[in-house]
Amino acid sequence: MQRRAAPIWIAVSLLILAGCAANLASGQTAATTIAASSPALQTATTAGQAPATPLIPPTKLPTPTIAPVQWPPTVTPTERPLPPPTSTASPLPTPSAAPTVSPAPTLAPTATQRPSPTVAVAASPRTTTIGQSVQGRPITATTIGNGPLAVAFVGDTHGGPERETDLLVQMAITYYREHPAEIPSAVTAYFIPTLNPDGLAAGTRFNADAVDLNRNWQTRDWDTNAGEPNGLDKGAGGPRPFSEPESRAMRDFLVTHHVAASIFYHLPWGGVYSEPNSVPFAQAVAQASGYPFHLPGKDTPYAMTGTAHRWADEHGQLSLLLELHGSASIEWDTNHSGMNATMRYVVIHH
Ligand SMILES: [Zn+2]
Protein backbone atom coordinates (compact mmCIF):
# COMPACT_ATOMS: atom_id res chain seq x y z
CA MET A 1 0.00 0.00 0.00
CA GLN A 2 2.66 2.55 0.93
CA ARG A 3 4.65 1.83 -2.18
CA ARG A 4 1.60 2.52 -4.32
CA ALA A 5 0.74 5.75 -2.51
CA ALA A 6 4.16 7.36 -3.08
CA PRO A 7 3.70 8.23 -6.77
CA ILE A 8 0.42 9.96 -5.91
CA TRP A 9 2.12 12.27 -3.33
CA ILE A 10 4.87 13.09 -5.75
CA ALA A 11 2.33 14.04 -8.37
CA VAL A 12 0.46 16.28 -5.92
CA SER A 13 3.63 18.07 -4.80
CA LEU A 14 4.63 18.65 -8.41
CA LEU A 15 1.25 20.29 -9.04
CA ILE A 16 1.75 22.63 -6.04
CA LEU A 17 5.24 23.60 -7.25
CA ALA A 18 3.82 24.35 -10.65
CA GLY A 19 1.25 26.64 -9.03
CA CYS A 20 3.99 28.58 -7.20
CA ALA A 21 5.92 28.98 -10.41
CA ALA A 22 2.82 30.41 -12.02
CA ASN A 23 2.49 32.99 -9.20
CA LEU A 24 6.13 34.08 -9.61
CA ALA A 25 5.64 34.40 -13.29
CA SER A 26 2.71 36.76 -12.70
CA GLY A 27 5.10 39.25 -11.03
CA GLN A 28 4.16 38.55 -7.38
CA THR A 29 7.67 39.16 -5.92
CA ALA A 30 8.67 39.27 -2.27
CA ALA A 31 9.50 42.94 -2.59
CA THR A 32 6.03 43.91 -3.65
CA THR A 33 4.47 41.94 -0.84
CA ILE A 34 6.66 43.82 1.75
CA ALA A 35 5.55 47.06 0.22
CA ALA A 36 1.99 45.87 0.69
CA SER A 37 2.27 46.69 4.39
CA SER A 38 2.15 50.36 3.48
CA PRO A 39 -1.48 51.49 3.32
CA ALA A 40 -0.79 53.59 0.22
CA LEU A 41 0.73 50.76 -1.70
CA GLN A 42 -1.76 48.25 -0.40
CA THR A 43 -4.41 49.59 -2.74
CA ALA A 44 -2.09 49.12 -5.68
CA THR A 45 -1.47 45.51 -4.86
CA THR A 46 -4.08 42.86 -5.29
CA ALA A 47 -6.20 42.76 -2.15
CA GLY A 48 -7.11 39.65 -0.26
CA GLN A 49 -3.87 37.80 -0.86
CA ALA A 50 -2.81 35.55 2.01
CA PRO A 51 1.00 36.19 1.90
CA ALA A 52 0.50 39.81 3.10
CA THR A 53 0.00 38.87 6.76
CA PRO A 54 3.25 36.94 7.33
CA LEU A 55 5.19 39.87 5.92
CA ILE A 56 4.07 42.32 8.66
CA PRO A 57 6.87 41.33 11.09
CA PRO A 58 9.65 42.51 8.68
CA THR A 59 8.05 45.96 8.56
CA LYS A 60 8.55 46.22 12.34
CA LEU A 61 12.29 45.85 11.86
CA PRO A 62 12.87 49.45 10.72
CA THR A 63 11.16 50.83 13.83
CA PRO A 64 13.86 49.45 16.20
CA THR A 65 16.20 51.98 14.62
CA ILE A 66 14.42 54.57 16.78
CA ALA A 67 15.96 52.98 19.84
CA PRO A 68 19.56 53.57 18.61
CA VAL A 69 18.61 57.22 18.09
CA GLN A 70 18.27 57.49 21.85
CA TRP A 71 21.73 56.01 22.17
CA PRO A 72 23.82 58.90 20.77
CA PRO A 73 22.41 61.34 23.33
CA THR A 74 24.02 59.02 25.84
CA VAL A 75 22.85 60.34 29.14
CA THR A 76 25.85 58.78 30.83
CA PRO A 77 28.49 61.30 29.58
CA THR A 78 26.45 64.23 30.79
CA GLU A 79 26.02 62.50 34.10
CA ARG A 80 29.78 62.12 34.56
CA PRO A 81 30.30 65.77 35.46
CA LEU A 82 27.94 65.27 38.34
CA PRO A 83 30.30 63.46 40.74
CA PRO A 84 32.66 66.44 41.32
CA PRO A 85 29.85 68.88 42.16
CA THR A 86 28.19 66.38 44.46
CA SER A 87 30.85 67.14 47.07
CA THR A 88 29.60 70.72 47.28
CA ALA A 89 26.30 70.75 45.41
CA SER A 90 24.94 67.45 46.69
CA PRO A 91 22.47 69.14 49.04
CA LEU A 92 20.43 70.18 45.98
CA PRO A 93 17.32 68.00 46.16
CA THR A 94 16.19 68.56 42.55
CA PRO A 95 18.14 66.14 40.37
CA SER A 96 16.65 67.54 37.13
CA ALA A 97 18.20 70.98 37.60
CA ALA A 98 21.53 69.65 38.81
CA PRO A 99 22.60 67.91 35.56
CA THR A 100 22.20 71.04 33.46
CA VAL A 101 24.22 73.19 35.85
CA SER A 102 26.85 70.64 36.73
CA PRO A 103 28.71 70.34 33.40
CA ALA A 104 29.92 73.94 33.52
CA PRO A 105 31.58 73.78 36.97
CA THR A 106 33.40 70.59 36.03
CA LEU A 107 35.01 72.37 33.10
CA ALA A 108 36.26 75.16 35.35
CA PRO A 109 38.18 72.91 37.80
CA THR A 110 40.01 71.10 35.02
CA ALA A 111 41.00 74.44 33.53
CA THR A 112 42.32 75.78 36.84
CA GLN A 113 44.10 72.56 37.73
CA ARG A 114 46.26 72.82 34.65
CA PRO A 115 48.19 75.98 35.65
CA SER A 116 49.03 74.70 39.13
CA PRO A 117 51.48 72.00 38.00
CA THR A 118 53.34 74.50 35.84
CA VAL A 119 53.69 76.82 38.84
CA ALA A 120 55.16 73.98 40.87
CA VAL A 121 57.71 73.28 38.14
CA ALA A 122 58.95 76.87 37.99
CA ALA A 123 60.27 76.83 41.52
CA SER A 124 63.83 78.22 41.54
CA PRO A 125 63.41 81.60 43.31
CA ARG A 126 60.14 81.37 45.16
CA THR A 127 58.39 83.61 47.65
CA THR A 128 56.22 82.23 50.40
CA THR A 129 54.24 83.77 53.23
CA ILE A 130 55.64 82.70 56.58
CA GLY A 131 53.17 84.54 58.77
CA GLN A 132 50.97 87.57 59.22
CA SER A 133 51.28 90.81 61.14
CA VAL A 134 48.81 92.00 63.76
CA GLN A 135 46.90 93.85 61.04
CA GLY A 136 47.01 90.88 58.67
CA ARG A 137 49.82 91.92 56.36
CA PRO A 138 51.89 89.04 54.99
CA ILE A 139 55.44 88.37 56.11
CA THR A 140 57.26 86.85 53.16
CA ALA A 141 60.42 84.86 52.58
CA THR A 142 62.08 84.51 49.19
CA THR A 143 64.11 81.35 48.71
CA ILE A 144 67.13 81.13 46.42
CA GLY A 145 69.27 78.01 46.25
CA ASN A 146 68.68 74.34 46.97
CA GLY A 147 71.41 73.27 49.37
CA PRO A 148 70.99 71.55 52.75
CA LEU A 149 72.44 74.48 54.76
CA ALA A 150 69.92 77.24 55.43
CA VAL A 151 70.86 80.87 55.99
CA ALA A 152 68.43 83.74 56.60
CA PHE A 153 68.84 87.45 55.96
CA VAL A 154 66.17 89.39 57.83
CA GLY A 155 65.56 93.02 56.91
CA ASP A 156 63.31 95.47 58.67
CA THR A 157 62.27 94.70 62.26
CA HIS A 158 61.86 98.30 63.38
CA GLY A 159 59.38 99.58 60.82
CA GLY A 160 59.43 102.94 59.10
CA PRO A 161 62.47 104.46 60.84
CA GLU A 162 64.65 101.61 59.53
CA ARG A 163 63.07 101.04 56.12
CA GLU A 164 66.50 100.98 54.41
CA THR A 165 66.99 97.51 55.92
CA ASP A 166 63.86 96.38 54.05
CA LEU A 167 65.26 97.89 50.85
CA LEU A 168 68.61 96.21 51.49
CA VAL A 169 67.10 92.72 51.59
CA GLN A 170 64.90 93.48 48.59
CA MET A 171 68.06 94.50 46.75
CA ALA A 172 69.66 91.22 47.79
CA ILE A 173 66.71 89.28 46.33
CA THR A 174 67.08 91.13 43.03
CA TYR A 175 70.83 90.62 42.99
CA TYR A 176 70.97 86.92 43.86
CA ARG A 177 68.18 86.14 41.44
CA GLU A 178 70.44 87.52 38.73
CA HIS A 179 73.57 85.90 40.20
CA PRO A 180 72.39 82.57 41.64
CA ALA A 181 75.89 81.12 41.13
CA GLU A 182 77.08 83.23 44.08
CA ILE A 183 75.00 81.05 46.39
CA PRO A 184 77.02 77.90 47.17
CA SER A 185 75.44 74.67 46.02
CA ALA A 186 75.29 73.51 49.66
CA VAL A 187 73.26 76.55 50.72
CA THR A 188 69.63 77.62 50.60
CA ALA A 189 69.32 81.36 51.24
CA TYR A 190 66.12 82.86 52.65
CA PHE A 191 65.47 86.58 52.29
CA ILE A 192 62.86 88.19 54.55
CA PRO A 193 62.58 91.89 53.71
CA THR A 194 60.46 92.81 56.73
CA LEU A 195 59.22 91.29 59.94
CA ASN A 196 57.18 94.38 60.71
CA PRO A 197 55.01 95.28 57.72
CA ASP A 198 52.55 97.18 59.96
CA GLY A 199 55.29 99.40 61.36
CA LEU A 200 56.65 99.89 57.86
CA ALA A 201 53.22 100.96 56.61
CA ALA A 202 52.53 103.23 59.58
CA GLY A 203 56.04 104.67 59.76
CA THR A 204 56.44 103.48 63.36
CA ARG A 205 59.21 101.52 65.09
CA PHE A 206 56.87 99.15 66.94
CA ASN A 207 54.22 96.80 65.59
CA ALA A 208 50.47 97.53 65.71
CA ASP A 209 50.35 96.31 69.33
CA ALA A 210 52.98 98.92 70.32
CA VAL A 211 55.49 96.15 70.96
CA ASP A 212 59.15 96.21 69.93
CA LEU A 213 59.56 93.03 67.87
CA ASN A 214 63.24 92.90 68.80
CA ARG A 215 62.40 92.79 72.53
CA ASN A 216 59.70 90.14 72.37
CA TRP A 217 61.77 86.94 72.08
CA GLN A 218 62.00 84.41 74.88
CA THR A 219 65.63 84.89 75.80
CA ARG A 220 67.01 84.44 79.32
CA ASP A 221 66.89 88.20 79.77
CA TRP A 222 63.43 88.92 78.34
CA ASP A 223 61.60 91.71 80.15
CA THR A 224 58.31 93.42 79.43
CA ASN A 225 60.07 96.71 80.13
CA ALA A 226 62.69 97.21 77.48
CA GLY A 227 65.51 99.57 76.63
CA GLU A 228 64.69 101.89 73.75
CA PRO A 229 66.43 104.88 72.13
CA ASN A 230 64.45 107.22 74.38
CA GLY A 231 65.03 105.21 77.57
CA LEU A 232 63.27 102.41 79.38
CA ASP A 233 59.92 101.75 77.69
CA LYS A 234 57.36 99.96 79.88
CA GLY A 235 55.59 97.21 77.98
CA ALA A 236 57.71 97.49 74.84
CA GLY A 237 58.82 93.86 75.33
CA GLY A 238 55.20 92.73 75.09
CA PRO A 239 53.02 91.27 77.88
CA ARG A 240 54.89 87.98 77.59
CA PRO A 241 57.60 86.44 75.36
CA PHE A 242 56.38 85.75 71.83
CA SER A 243 53.13 87.56 72.46
CA GLU A 244 53.27 88.94 68.90
CA PRO A 245 52.41 87.06 65.69
CA GLU A 246 55.42 88.56 63.88
CA SER A 247 58.02 87.28 66.36
CA ARG A 248 56.28 83.90 66.55
CA ALA A 249 56.31 83.59 62.76
CA MET A 250 60.03 84.35 62.62
CA ARG A 251 60.80 81.94 65.45
CA ASP A 252 58.83 79.16 63.76
CA PHE A 253 60.62 79.84 60.50
CA LEU A 254 64.07 79.61 62.12
CA VAL A 255 63.11 76.35 63.80
CA THR A 256 61.32 74.58 60.98
CA HIS A 257 63.93 75.53 58.37
CA HIS A 258 66.83 74.56 60.64
CA VAL A 259 68.55 77.85 59.92
CA ALA A 260 72.29 77.50 60.41
CA ALA A 261 73.09 81.21 60.39
CA SER A 262 71.12 84.45 60.27
CA ILE A 263 71.68 88.19 60.13
CA PHE A 264 69.13 90.68 61.47
CA TYR A 265 69.65 94.13 59.94
CA HIS A 266 69.11 97.41 61.77
CA LEU A 267 70.43 100.97 61.79
CA PRO A 268 72.04 103.40 62.61
CA TRP A 269 74.87 102.26 64.92
CA GLY A 270 77.19 100.98 62.20
CA GLY A 271 78.55 97.66 63.43
CA VAL A 272 78.30 93.90 63.91
CA TYR A 273 76.95 92.89 67.32
CA SER A 274 77.70 89.34 68.38
CA GLU A 275 76.46 86.76 70.86
CA PRO A 276 78.55 84.23 72.85
CA ASN A 277 78.20 81.18 70.56
CA SER A 278 78.41 83.19 67.36
CA VAL A 279 81.58 85.25 67.92
CA PRO A 280 83.73 83.62 65.20
CA PHE A 281 80.86 83.86 62.73
CA ALA A 282 80.31 87.54 63.58
CA GLN A 283 84.03 88.23 63.25
CA ALA A 284 84.08 86.65 59.79
CA VAL A 285 81.15 88.78 58.65
CA ALA A 286 82.63 91.95 60.18
CA GLN A 287 85.94 91.32 58.49
CA ALA A 288 84.37 90.68 55.07
CA SER A 289 81.97 93.62 55.24
CA GLY A 290 84.15 96.17 57.01
CA TYR A 291 81.69 96.94 59.84
CA PRO A 292 83.24 97.31 63.30
CA PHE A 293 82.99 94.14 65.40
CA HIS A 294 81.48 94.25 68.90
CA LEU A 295 81.84 91.59 71.57
CA PRO A 296 78.68 90.17 73.16
CA GLY A 297 76.93 92.69 75.39
CA LYS A 298 79.49 95.40 74.59
CA ASP A 299 79.10 98.81 73.06
CA THR A 300 75.33 98.78 72.75
CA PRO A 301 73.85 102.23 73.29
CA TYR A 302 71.31 100.79 75.74
CA ALA A 303 70.39 97.45 77.25
CA MET A 304 68.70 95.24 74.68
CA THR A 305 66.67 92.35 76.05
CA GLY A 306 64.62 89.65 74.33
CA THR A 307 66.34 90.13 70.97
CA ALA A 308 65.98 87.84 67.96
CA HIS A 309 69.66 87.16 67.33
CA ARG A 310 70.20 86.37 71.03
CA TRP A 311 67.33 83.86 70.99
CA ALA A 312 68.82 82.16 67.91
CA ASP A 313 72.26 82.07 69.52
CA GLU A 314 70.82 80.56 72.72
CA HIS A 315 69.14 77.88 70.60
CA GLY A 316 72.21 76.65 68.77
CA GLN A 317 72.03 78.80 65.65
CA LEU A 318 74.67 81.26 64.51
CA SER A 319 73.23 84.76 64.48
CA LEU A 320 74.23 88.41 64.66
CA LEU A 321 72.75 91.88 64.62
CA LEU A 322 74.15 94.18 61.94
CA GLU A 323 73.58 97.92 62.18
CA LEU A 324 73.92 100.03 59.05
CA HIS A 325 75.60 103.40 59.54
CA GLY A 326 72.39 105.28 58.93
CA SER A 327 69.50 105.76 56.56
CA ALA A 328 71.46 107.54 53.84
CA SER A 329 72.19 104.30 51.98
CA ILE A 330 71.42 100.61 52.04
CA GLU A 331 75.22 100.08 51.98
CA TRP A 332 74.84 97.34 49.42
CA ASP A 333 78.48 96.64 48.59
CA THR A 334 79.54 96.02 52.18
CA ASN A 335 76.44 93.96 52.95
CA HIS A 336 76.74 91.98 49.75
CA SER A 337 80.21 90.97 50.99
CA GLY A 338 78.78 90.14 54.41
CA MET A 339 76.07 87.92 52.92
CA ASN A 340 78.58 86.01 50.83
CA ALA A 341 80.80 85.65 53.90
CA THR A 342 77.83 84.21 55.82
CA MET A 343 77.21 81.56 53.17
CA ARG A 344 80.91 80.68 52.93
CA TYR A 345 81.11 80.41 56.71
CA VAL A 346 78.32 77.84 57.04
CA VAL A 347 79.75 75.77 54.19
CA ILE A 348 83.21 75.68 55.82
CA HIS A 349 82.02 75.10 59.40
CA HIS A 350 79.30 72.49 58.88
ZN1 LIG B 1 66.49 98.33 64.74
Q: Write phi, then psi, for 119 (nearest 5 degrees).
A: -65, -40
Reduce the DSSP state of residue 329 to 3 states and report it. coil
CA of 201 from ligand 1 middle (Å) equals 16
Query: Rounded to the nearest whole angstrom, what is the distance from the C-alpha of residue 163 to the centroid of ligand 1?
Result: 10
Q: Is 273 exposed, middle or buried (0-12, 13-18, 19+ CB in 10 A)?
A: buried
Tell me what pLDDT residue 303 has: 86
pLDDT at position 189: 98
Our separate counts of H helices and E strands in the chain read 16, 10
Distance 257 CA to ligand 1 centre (A): 24
Q: How far is the CA of 266 from the centre of ligand 1 (A)?
A: 4
| pLDDT for the residue numbered 300 | 84
pTM, two decimal places: 0.66
Could you tell me the pLDDT band of residue 301, with boundaries at 50, 70 and 90?
confident
Helix (H, G, I), strand (E, B) or coil at 322: strand
Segment 320-341 mean pLDDT:
98
Cα 165 to ligand 1 centroid, rounded to whole Å:
9
Distance of CA 4 from the midpoint of ligand 1 (Å): 135
Q: Judge whether 219 and 307 are in contact, CB under 8 Å.
A: yes
Q: Is 241 or 123 the better-scoring residue by pLDDT?
A: 241
For residue 206, how far is its CA from the centre of ligand 1 (angstroms)? 10
pLDDT digits over 26-70, tens only? Answer: 333 333 333 333 333 333 333 334 333 343 344 343 433 334 434
Rounded to the nearest 5 degrees, what angle is found at the Cα of 141, between the Cα atoms of 193 and 345? Answer: 85
Residue 278 CA to ligand 1 center (angstroms) comes to 19
pLDDT at residue 287 greater than cutoff 90: yes
Q: What's residue 124's pLDDT?
A: 61
The confidence score (pLDDT) of residue 350 equals 85
In the chain, which ranges are E strands? 126-132, 138-145, 149-156, 187-194, 226-228, 231-233, 259-266, 271-273, 293-294, 318-323
Give the chain's mean pLDDT: 76
Concatenating the DSSP letter of every residue in 1-33 gives: -HHHHHHHHHHHHHHHHHHHHHHHHTT--HHHH
Q: Quick one: which of 43, 46, 12 has its CA closest to 29?
A: 46
Kindly give the pairing relationship between strand 187-194 and strand 271-273.
unpaired
**How much distance in Å is there from the Cα of 332 to the middle of ligand 1?**
17
Secondary structure string (H, E, C) spanning 255-299: HHCCEEEEEEEECCCCEEECCHHHHHHHHHHHHHHCCCEECCCCC
Going from the Cα of 303 to the center of ligand 1, the distance in angstroms, rounded, reads 13
* pLDDT at residue 288 is higher than 70: yes
pLDDT of residue 259: 98
Centre of ligand 1 to C-alpha 24, Å, is: 115
Chain centroid to CA 160: 32
Domains and CATH numbers, the chain: 2-67 (no CATH), 125-349 (3.40.630.10)
User: 155 CA distance to ligand 1 centroid (A)?
Assistant: 10
Q: Which residues pair with 188 in a beta bridge?
A: 145, 150
CA of 162 to the centre of ligand 1 (A): 6
pLDDT of residue 84: 36
The SS3 of residue 119 is helix
